[in-house]
Structure 1
Amino acid sequence: MKAVHFGAGNIGRGFIGHMLSASDYDVCFVARNPMKISMLQQRQEYPITLANKQQDTTIVNNVTAINVSEQHRVAEEIASADLITTAVGVSALGDIAEPIAKGIYLRMKANNHNPLHIIACENAIGGSTRLKKRIYPFLDERTRAKAERYISFPNAAVDRIVPAQNHEDPLQVTVEPFYEWVVHRPALLDGFKEIHGVHYVDSLEPYIERKMFTVNTGHCVAAYLGHIAGFKTIRQVMSNSTLRAKVRHVMEETGAMLIRKHGFDSEKHQKYIETILGRFANPNLTDQVTRVARSPLRKLSPHDRLVRPAMQASEFGIAIPHLTSAMAAAMLFDDRRDEEAMKMQHIIREDGLSAFIHERMGIPEEHAVHQQVITRYEELQGSKLKTALT
């Protein structure tokens, strides 16, 4: 079995590529970094290390790589592949749509009717569906019609913390022991070979929202609060009892919404929250606050990890004082190395706070959450959190 995976970064190598290789797939990474591409071609293996006391290391083998710019070679790989996966970041899905489309065209032209599944392993709701919408405009009507019969785009939820890192071996990756990869089973075509360790479910939304609005929400909240308080790493944030409690409170507010919406068991969900908090505090991982906080405009958009759970909780009548504080903290993120952060600060200065909340976050001026965010923003801006922590 052959898999083509777009993205040879830490998530691609340390999570998706590892799981595919462990399920006896030959993995061809499609990447941009010439050095990593060359090393993967030469070695056809790389090490991953678990962030535990033992520092357990596994060798991932049966891998190679090609450059995304070699579109004909990429298309040929896709034409004969059994599976395509991505871990490029949701904002980059448009960049890989045309190469995938060219591969689909070659595949359909050659009458390869073996089932092909394309799974976007991104931090986004409906990532594979988004990718499909990007790919199909590059296909002619006849090819699209054939693709509808033989190609499927199952949505997925993925969860593993893999921070930015540097090793003597550029291919080595350190990952946390915990991982979760959930795939929507009804979208699978006959003949699909299941990936070892993947959880296949009939209803994906509860799993996606549980992960997005617990792990992703909690992680970025820790980063935004930590930035205001002057911390450099997520581990430092989680070592501060006041900040850790604030992160927990946010996750409990999103949890109340998830329990109401999806019927999760409250005790089990609380244990899930505690597990996530423990993962954030892993002493064997060093994750930079600025990395986790980056791209605040995306994270404050209407359908992402802060605004969406806040608005859904509000609809259920759930109080969200900590979640509105978290949104305010995100709006104060002003790292000069982050292009989105600088753009956000410019918009707030030029258009005003209320306009930003309405136009960028999608929260109407008359909505109660709108004013709550303004109030918390003004409180945090005045205190810079150092006094607000108490």
Structure 2
Amino acid sequence: MKALHFGAGNIGRGFIGKLLADAHAELTFADVNQTLLDELNQRKSYQVHVVGDESRIEQVNNVSAVNSGSEQAVDLIAEADIVTTAVGPQVLAKIAGTIAKGLIKRHQQGNTQPLNIIACENMVRGTSQLKHSVFDVLPQDEQAWVEQHVGFVDSAVDRIVPPAEANSSDPLEVTVETFSEWIVDQTQFKGPPPAIAGMELTDNLMAFVERKLFTLNTGHAITAYLGQRANLLTIRDAILDPQVRQVVRGAMEESGAVLIKRYGFDADKHAAYINKILSRFENPYLHDDVERVGRQPLRKLSAGDRLIKPLLGTLEYDLPHGNLIKGIAAAMSYRSEQDPQAKELVELLEKLGPKAALIQISGLPADSKVVEEAVAAYNTMQSQ
């Protein structure tokens, strides 16, 4: 199996790339970071530090790397059996041109073997969005061939991968938690799905996408935002604070009630899932800053993301949402000099006021009661 993975960062190396390598794929990373490319090509291997109750070091071997905008990347797409990404939602559109060129070359070379493309991003149906970007730049006369031979497979991914320690001199060093989950939509593959240990198949992907978004992502973000409000530096510090923990658990229980209504999840099993996530946030071996987890607040406050989408679910099913409101107010309070979106958020709040700013960012109706509730909670936080 020939695999090309876009994104040689920590998630790419520590999660998806590792699973592909463990499945004995002929794996090439594509990235724009020349230091990472040089190190991967020189060493052909790297180590993954898996931390938790049973910490261990796992070796990843037989890897190479190319620039993600290069002709080498185009050539590899023409030959690959699987293409995956872990580049971040904002970067997907930027790699679409390279993918389109590779698919055209694949057609020109007469390669009719199935190719499956899987975006492994922290977003809802990221591969479908990548497909739209690819088809935007794909000539009309190529589209039918691509539809016939290329699968665009949506997935849900879950693994906490913090940044490398600041004092680390090894650009390939990566630390991951023990837990990982990669669930893919089996209905979207062309040909039989590849045998990759750790990749789970489902015909009901949205249930798992929303389970992760409404639980891990919602809880992680609210932990970060409330943690910053309490002057706590790490996710572990924040979730061990009783007041923060109470709101985070409450928000996950509120969003969980939506999932139980919508998808018929078992209530006891979902409660256990929430407990598992809280224990993951407590992992003493993962040093994850609240400022990093909270970054890009405009995206996280948008209509389809981890704060507003579960809130809309509570309105749909007439369910409680008081803790989600506190999380949204805390997100509006997030500040970071290093994050352009945080600066833009401050500008919007100053220019429009909290109510109009929240309406613009979230898409919530102007006359919605929850907007008033969130603004009241935000104003209360600002006065404390």
TM-score bin, normalised by smaller chain:
over 0.9
Letter in 1 for 2:91: A
Task: Please state whether the residue corresponding to 1:8 is helix, strand or coil.
Answer: coil
Query: Contact 1:213–1:251 at 8 Å: present in 2 too?
Result: yes
Paired position in structure 2 for 1:9: 9
The percentage of aligned residue pairs carrying the same residue is 41
Query: Contact 2:186–2:193 at 8 Å: present in 1 too?
Result: no
Runs (4+) off by over 3 Å: none
Q: CA deviation at 1:256?
A: 0.7
Please list, as runs of the form range in 1=range in 2, the aligned pairs for 1:285-324 lying within 5 A after superposition.
285-324=286-325
Q: Distance in 2 between matches of 1:236 and 1:145?
A: 52
Paired position in structure 1 for 2:48: 48
Paired position in structure 2 for 1:163: 162
Query: Contact 1:4–1:84 at 8 Å: present in 2 too?
Result: yes
Q: CA deviation at 1:19?
A: 0.3
Paired position in structure 1 for 2:91: 92
Task: Please state whether the residue corresponding to 1:318 is helix, strand or coil.
Answer: coil
Q: Distance in 2 between matches of 1:257 and 1:53?
A: 32
Q: CA deviation at 1:192?
A: 3.3
Letter in 2 for 1:312: G
Paired position in structure 2 for 1:284: 285
Paired position in structure 2 for 1:149: 148
Paired position in structure 2 for 1:245: 246
Letter in 2 for 1:105: I
2:3 aligned with 1:20? no
Letter in 1 for 2:19: M
- TM-score, reference length from structure 1: 0.96
- TM-score, reference length from structure 2: 0.98
Q: CA deviation at 1:54?
A: 4.4
Query: Contact 1:115–1:192 at 8 Å: present in 2 too?
Result: no
Letter in 1 for 2:328: M
Query: Contact 1:221–1:330 at 8 Å: present in 2 too?
Result: yes
Paired position in structure 2 for 1:59: 59
Query: Contact 1:232–1:289 at 8 Å: present in 2 too?
Result: yes
Query: Contact 1:30–1:68 at 8 Å: present in 2 too?
Result: yes
Paired position in structure 2 for 1:122: 121
Task: Please state whether the residue corresponding to 2:328 is helix, strand or coil.
Answer: helix
Which string of whole-angstrom CA distances, capped at 9 and with x for unpartnered residues, describes residues 315-364 of structure 1? Answer: 11001011011001000111112110010110111012111122211111
Please list, as runs of the form range in 1=range in 2, the aligned pairs for 1:172-251 lying within 5 A after superposition.
172-251=173-252
Q: Distance in 1 between matches of 2:192 and 2:254?
A: 42
Query: Contact 2:69–2:95 at 8 Å: present in 1 too?
Result: no
Q: Distance in 2 between matches of 1:127 and 1:33?
A: 23
Gaps of 5+ in 1: 384-390
Query: Contact 2:117–2:127 at 8 Å: present in 1 too?
Result: yes
Which string of whole-angstrom CA distances, capped at 9 and with x for unpartnered residues, describes residues 32-66 of structure 1? Answer: 11111011111111000111244301101121101
Task: Please state whether the residue corresponding to 2:116 is helix, strand or coil.
Answer: strand
Query: Contact 1:5–1:17 at 8 Å: present in 2 too?
Result: yes
Query: Contact 2:164–2:173 at 8 Å: present in 1 too?
Result: no
Query: Contact 1:93–1:131 at 8 Å: present in 2 too?
Result: yes
What is the RMSD of the two structures over their aligned residues, measured on CA atoms? 1.0
Gaps of 5+ in 2: none
Letter in 1 for 2:48: I
Q: Distance in 1 between matches of 2:159 and 2:302?
A: 23
Q: Distance in 1 between matches of 2:320 and 2:239?
A: 24
Q: Distance in 1 between matches of 2:54 and 2:117?
A: 35
Q: Distance in 1 between matches of 2:332 and 2:260?
A: 28
Q: Distance in 2 between matches of 1:54 and 1:255?
A: 30
Paired position in structure 2 for 1:375: 376
Query: Contact 1:53–1:284 at 8 Å: present in 2 too?
Result: no
Task: Please state whether the residue corresponding to 2:169 is helix, strand or coil.
Answer: coil
Paired position in structure 2 for 1:73: 72
Q: Count matched residues.
A: 382
Letter in 1 for 2:20: L
Query: Contact 1:365–1:371 at 8 Å: present in 2 too?
Result: no
Q: Distance in 1 between matches of 2:241 and 2:156?
A: 30
Paired position in structure 2 for 1:352: 353
Which string of whole-angstrom CA distances, capped at 9 and with x for unpartnered residues, describes residues 106-138 of structure 1? Answer: 001111000000000001111000000001121
Q: Distance in 1 between matches of 2:171 and 2:91?
A: 23
Q: Distance in 1 between matches of 2:220 and 2:283?
A: 13
Task: Please state whether the residue corresponding to 1:360 is helix, strand or coil.
Answer: helix
Paired position in structure 2 for 1:103: 102
Letter in 2 for 1:120: A
